[in-house]
Amino acid sequence: MLLKITDLPESDVFRKLSLGVFDLENPKFLKFIELLANLNHSDKIPSKHCRACGKMYADLHEYIWDTEAKGQTMEDVGGVMGKAYTMLYRNCSCGNTLVLTLTGDNFPELSEFWDMIKQESKDRQLPVKTIVSAFMADWEHFIEKQTKKNKKITRKL
Ligand SMILES: [Zn+2]
């Protein structure tokens, strides 16, 4: 779905302009974003603690939402590790880089995820890095919407 720039909230405009990708909520991404939401509700991802400033990230969503993407945000190192293995790099608000790993153990769909990313890269003739950035933008957007929803529900109760 293509959106006009005027349809997007200001923050999204800047995000999408910087990526050069204007379609929000790619349906191919959504399946994996939902799987990651399930993973977030499991206890397979331990809470993250910044050793530099002491800030705690209780779960995967808080880690993604409360940190800033850094350069190569998500790296497939499966080839080096000899198994499904992905590293996420995000910066804490203090500037310290926090690394989180996804493997076939905590995220069984990891290989399938990278197949989808590579296929999107081929179909759109864009570098894998750009597709990963677009995925991260959609993931952040999803968490943002979820968090707002949760906050509203809490207020009602
Ligand atoms: Zn920190």
pLDDT digits (tens, 9 = 90+) for 19-59: 555 466 789 999 999 999 999 999 888 899 999 999 999 99
Cα of 145 to ligand 1 centre, how many Å?
25
157 lies in some domain: no
14 lies in some domain: yes
pLDDT band for position 155 (cuts 50, 70, 90): very low
155 lies in some domain: no
Cα of 8 to ligand 1 centre, how many Å?
31
70 lies in some domain: yes
Would the pLDDT of 116 be above 50?
yes
Would the pLDDT of 143 be above 70?
yes
Would the pLDDT of 126 be above 50?
yes
154 lies in some domain: no
Q: pLDDT per residue over 66-89, tens digit each? A: 898 877 789 999 999 999 999 999
Q: How many domains is the chain partitioned into structurally?
A: 1
- Pair of tokens at residue 26: 């790619």
Question: Higher pLDDT residue, 25 or 1?
Answer: 25
The pTM of the full predicted model, rounded to 2 decimals, is 0.79
- Pair of tokens at residue 89: 């790099």
156 lies in some domain: no
Task: Provide the mean pLDDT of the chain.
Answer: 83
Q: What is the pLDDT of residue 16?
A: 53
88 lies in some domain: yes
5 lies in some domain: no
Q: What residue type is assigned to position 105 of the chain? A: D
Across 41-139, where does the E strand assignment appear? 48-49, 56-57, 68-76, 85-91, 97-103
Beta bridge partners of 87: 75, 101
Structural domain of residue 14, as residue ranges?
10-149
Q: What is the pLDDT of residue 4?
A: 53
Cα of 103 to ligand 1 centre, how many Å?
24
Q: What is the pLDDT of residue 121?
A: 94
Cα of 67 to ligand 1 centre, how many Å?
9
Residue 93: helix, strand or coil by DSSP? coil
- Percent pLDDT > 70 in the chain is 78
Cα of 55 to ligand 1 centre, how many Å?
6
